Structure 1
Amino acid sequence: MTRILTAAAIIDASGQSRGPSAITFEGDRITSVAALPAGASFDDVLVMPALANAHDHGRQVRTSSIGGFGKPLEIWLHRLQLFGPVDPYLAAAAPFGRAVLGGQGASMVHYTRAQGLTDYVSEAKVVARAAKDVGLRIAFGIALRDTNPLVYGDSQPILAGLSDAARAEVEGRFLSPPMSVKDQLARVDAVAEAIASPMVDVQYGPNGVQWSTPALLEAIAEASAATGRRVHMHLLETKYQRAYADQHFPQGIARHLKDIGLLSTRLTLAHCTWATPEDLAIIAESGATISVNTSSNLALRSGLAPVAAMLKAGCKVGIGIDGQAFDEDDDLLREMRLVWSLHAGWGFDAEVSTADVMRAVFVNGHRSVNSPVTGLIEAGAPADLLVIDRAALDDDALMPVDPVDLLFARGAARHLKESIVAGRTVALVGKVSGVDLDAIHRELRAQLRAGMADRESFRCVLPELETVICQHFSDRLGCC
């Protein structure tokens, strides 16, 4: 099927907006892009590549709904145990639907919280089916961890600080023996065999250096080199993780990752909020990608990533939502604006440009999730496109204004008229095309509410656990 889009302007990774144009695509590929002759009619829209969310976990609902607001990562993570298991299709389709409404055509799904109602491979198949129904490209990063379930170190001092009832509750929920390294890597192979496709890229997903033994990270590095499979991992998200890395890897954490062969063009590092100039130089040299997750870092009080320094060092930078967009709504268009606003520089000092931000979501993020999108709207490129209502974006209509300026001044998901992925309309005027997102949210919330009773005993001990953990970290680096 052939379709022609006409647009007032095209914005892509070329760095310059193009005037009135016609974009023709057939199936999942663009076949031609041509400037319209003077006087030709066109739709009053902007067309740009669909965006890539370089780091996310596919969270089913907002974590402030379980009291997560304002909690540092090191206690917020344990609070996620308040979410009971639900139908994995609903748990995946809900964030995937919100993703396409927020301008995403591709997203990382670092799958750190399986529902566990079936075997893992069967659940992964359900997640892939949800992505297919919605029409979202995904990278499925399989969580891999084998140490430090409570804090970045020995759990015993934490357990010793709890009452008997709290200790029993915490041990039951967090201290299960981890799978062997061999079995964890075999799981990745099994999932890849089951769900890998042009729309689903299976990746190794070590949770982070503080949650992985050296043996696990070294085995992942070896397996990635042997298979060519990408790796997605958290790094230096918080100052407490920085302290852990400095203590355990005095030669430098980036240098250690390079030495074991993990740091390569196949690696994406989420956050790097507390990376040093030396770290960034080594990461840049390796060709690895960094996903900055600005809203998440603000929500979890983790800090502001040194984005300008990353770019100056030559790092490839993507942008992730991390399940914590500024308004908890998965709006990647707004996230672009937030990143630019916080990192552009002050006064006449220009440090991060709008072109840098667009490259992050048009190019680097797609590379991170192994999407074929190149960031250019040209013949032969994938037909992964966003159609933005230019008239709504410029409703004042006082004088001609560069559409990129308008996009970064006020662009948000509400301006999205249509989202196209692989030639398929996946969202149209605020509605997901492939699933009934409202019905999915209703049933998902009903299942989560029904499961809260089983979490009541844990909810009751959470204040005690959080107090002990806060004291643990404050004894090391000051109040958390």
Structure 2
Amino acid sequence: MTPSAQLLLRPGHQPAERFDGAARFPVARSVLAALGPGDLVMPSPVNAHDHGYGIRTLDFGVVDEALEVWIPGMRLRPRTDAYLEALVAFARLAQTGVGATMHCHNSLNINRLGDEAAAVIRAAGEVGIRLGLSCPLLDFDPWAYGGGPEKLKPLLSEDDWQALSPSIPAYAPVAEQIAAVDAVAAENSNPMVDVQYGPVGPQWCSNALLEAIAEASAANGRRIHMHLLESPRQRLWLDRRFPQGVVHYLDEIGFLSPRLAVAHGVQLQPAECELLAERGVQLVSNPSANLRLRSGVAPISLVAEKGPALAIGLDGSGFDDDQDLWREMRLIHLLHGGRELNRRFTADRIFDAAIHIGAKVLNAPAGQDFVVIDYDALTADSLFDDIDEAEVLLTRMTSAQAKGLFLGGREIMRDGRLTTVDFDAARRELREQARADLPRLRRERQLAGSLSAAIRSYYSRW
């Protein structure tokens, strides 16, 4: 029997429907026309938290470590063209069947933000993906919580301190930083891009900056995307800085609202999960990154019961370092299923997190973009044809089975290859740019190692 194409419009909620050629489905005709026997089409999932790494961290020698010890390795990120870096990152993601991503931009120089944001938006437009652009905002405690670089000075040699200290960030005033984000939003003309305030994390933001962001978001409706309580050290420090608890402080200043998404949340406590839920905040879980950077496992069982709406993100560090959101969905499904007879975190909630809540985080429409999957390859040995398609996908799906991608009816990928940009050529050019920066990186490598060692020593005393 020749397999027919199938439409899985509500994964985990309803089984797939056989496609008989009739145009009675709420799917663009261009999508239906691309379906072949054995294909399955479903709404494309959303990568709700990422950093747009064209050159991935391991490629410039940064191995997995505890978060704070790992961060200095970002000094080894090659100096490459912002447009090309984003183009490769977005194209790599689109080839997995994911056409929407939250990009937390990495630049800490507010004077370059406008130009770099324009380059990132241009790259998203050329690939054809939907984009949430979180513009970084920070002004507090670089390098070390609870005192900044001066806390590390006694732990560094005099030569290393002299070499490192010129790179201590000099932050622009609060009003200037917020105005820079507003200017990026005003310049953006791509309706598939949503510009957002991106306080990097409360540990790196002054109270004045956090309060100003809350006020600006309330006034203009702009969304906020922020890391929150990722590592155990952040929990320790923020509990010292905010005796009432950082989540309660954020609530007191009007920061918590349906316009806010927070990433990681590994150290959240039950009452904090409930408060985030009451305020309509979304939580983006990043299980691979949390494991790789030794932050722990997020309390998703609490979230499933009475916590905030959940989305899923890769954070630039998927389980196999391959930006495969399908594997990330599988990991969260297995990590948080529980040990009882009945699964706690079910397939319908996983797909709702990846599709609908992810779209909300990006301020994007849900269910208008579709991925075409080689479902026949996933079920070639199956003896029964009535196995729940959502369970098949959560057990076997990888980026290798993503055949096509349509965003708003526009074809972005066909037969596993992008139709909009030449990914291989862009990747080669980016690698050449990165390798041209090797002389500087070789000099910088020793300093990054010394800074990491000082940070490890500093926190080991806590």
TM tier relative to shorter chain: over 0.9
| DSSP 3-state at the match of 1:167 | helix
Give, in whole Å, the separation in 2 of the partners of 1:153 and 1:85. Answer: 30
| DSSP 3-state at the match of 1:469 | helix
| DSSP 3-state at the match of 2:49 | coil
Say whether the 8 Å CA contact 1:237–1:273 is kept in structure 2: yes
Say whether the 8 Å CA contact 2:12–2:347 is kept in structure 1: no
Cα separation, partners in 2 of 1:148 and 1:468, compared to 1, 3 Å: same
Match of 1:16 among 14, 17, 32: 14
Matches within 5 A, 1:301-340: 301-340=294-333
Task: Give the aligned partner of residue 113 of structure 1.
Answer: 107
Matches within 5 A, 1:109-188: 109-113=103-107, 119-154=112-147, 155-173=149-167, 175-188=168-181
Match of 1:53 among 25, 47, 54: 47
Task: State the 1:103 CA deviation.
Answer: 2.2
1:134-189 Cα deviation digits (max 9, x unpaired) = 0110011100000111111212120222112211222122x131011011001011
Task: State the 1:123 CA deviation.
Answer: 2.0
Task: State the 1:356 CA deviation.
Answer: 0.9
One-letter amino acid of the counterpart of residue 48, structure 1: M
Give, in whole Å, the separation in 1 of the partners of 2:277 and 2:189. Answer: 29
Say whether the 8 Å CA contact 2:28–2:409 is kept in structure 1: no
Task: State the 1:115 CA deviation.
Answer: 8.9
Cα separation, partners in 2 of 1:289 and 1:161, compared to 1, 3 Å: same
Task: State the 1:458 CA deviation.
Answer: 2.0
Q: Compare 212-221 and 87-96 and name the one that shifted more.
A: 87-96
1:390-447 Cα deviation digits (max 9, x unpaired) = 1001121322222112111110111111011111111222212211111111111111
Cα separation, partners in 2 of 1:433 and 1:104, compared to 1, 3 Å: same
Task: Give the aligned partner of residue 225 of structure 2.
Answer: 232
| DSSP 3-state at the match of 1:51 | coil
Give, in whole Å, the separation in 2 of the partners of 1:132 and 1:45. Answer: 27
Task: State the 1:316 CA deviation.
Answer: 0.3
TM-score when scaled to structure 1?
0.90
Say whether the 8 Å CA contact 1:83–1:452 is kept in structure 2: no
Say whether the 8 Å CA contact 2:8–2:40 is kept in structure 1: yes
Match of 2:5 among 1, 7, 11: 7
Task: Give the aligned partner of residue 393 of structure 1.
Answer: 378
| DSSP 3-state at the match of 2:17 | coil
Give, in whole Å, the separation in 2 of the partners of 1:353 and 1:77. Answer: 34
Match of 1:450 among 425, 430, 436: 436
Task: Give the aligned partner of residue 336 of structure 2.
Answer: 343
| DSSP 3-state at the match of 2:443 | helix
Task: Give the aligned partner of residue 193 of structure 2.
Answer: 200
Q: Percent identity?
A: 37
Q: Compare 359-368 and 339-348 and name the one that shifted more.
A: 339-348
One-letter amino acid of the counterpart of residue 166, structure 1: D
Q: Compare 64-73 and 103-112 and name the one that shifted more.
A: 64-73
Give, in whole Å, the separation in 1 of the partners of 2:27 and 2:71. Answer: 43
Cα separation, partners in 2 of 1:64 and 1:176, compared to 1, 3 Å: same
Cα separation, partners in 2 of 1:114 and 1:182, compared to 1, 3 Å: closer
User: What 5-or-longer segments of structure 1 have no aligned partner?
Assistant: 1-5, 36-40, 376-381
One-letter amino acid of the counterpart of residue 15, structure 1: H
One-letter amino acid of the counterpart of residue 10, structure 1: L
Give, in whole Å, the separation in 1 of the partners of 2:249 and 2:199. Answer: 15
Cα separation, partners in 2 of 1:314 and 1:162, compared to 1, 3 Å: closer
Give, in whole Å, the separation in 2 of the partners of 1:13 and 1:262. Answer: 33
Give, in whole Å, the separation in 1 of the partners of 2:106 and 2:299. Answer: 26
Cα separation, partners in 2 of 1:24 and 1:219, compared to 1, 3 Å: farther
Match of 1:100 among 94, 101, 109: 94
One-letter amino acid of the counterpart of residue 127, structure 1: V
One-letter amino acid of the counterpart of residue 170, structure 1: L
Matches within 5 A, 1:289-308: 289-308=282-301
One-letter amino acid of the counterpart of residue 310, structure 1: V
Give, in whole Å, the separation in 1 of the partners of 2:108 and 2:47. Answer: 20
Give, in whole Å, the separation in 2 of the partners of 1:253 and 1:157. Answer: 22
| DSSP 3-state at the match of 1:104 | coil
1:335-370 Cα deviation digits (max 9, x unpaired) = 111110111112514211111110101100100001
Q: Does 1:416 align with 2:402?
A: yes
Give, in whole Å, the separation in 1 of the partners of 2:429 and 2:76. Answer: 18
Cα separation, partners in 2 of 1:114 and 1:100, compared to 1, 3 Å: farther
Q: Does 1:438 align with 2:415?
A: no
Task: Give the aligned partner of residue 428 of structure 1.
Answer: 414
Task: Give the aligned partner of residue 369 of structure 1.
Answer: 362
Say whether the 8 Å CA contact 2:69–2:453 is kept in structure 1: no
Give, in whole Å, the separation in 1 of the partners of 2:174 and 2:430. Answer: 33
Task: Give the aligned partner of residue 85 of structure 2.
Answer: 91
| DSSP 3-state at the match of 2:461 | helix
Say whether the 8 Å CA contact 1:103–1:331 is kept in structure 2: no
Task: Give the aligned partner of residue 68 of structure 2.
Answer: 74
One-letter amino acid of the counterpart of residue 312, structure 1: E
Task: Give the aligned partner of residue 38 of structure 1.
Answer: none
One-letter amino acid of the counterpart of residue 394, structure 1: T
Say whether the 8 Å CA contact 2:60–2:78 is kept in structure 1: no
Give, in whole Å, the separation in 1 of the partners of 2:69 and 2:177. Answer: 26
One-letter amino acid of the counterpart of residue 72, structure 2: H
One-letter amino acid of the counterpart of residue 91, structure 2: G
Give, in whole Å, the separation in 2 of the partners of 1:307 and 1:171. Answer: 40
One-letter amino acid of the counterpart of residue 197, structure 2: Y
Give, in whole Å, the separation in 1 of the partners of 2:28 and 2:313. Answer: 30
1:249-284 Cα deviation digits (max 9, x unpaired) = 111221111110010000000010000001101000
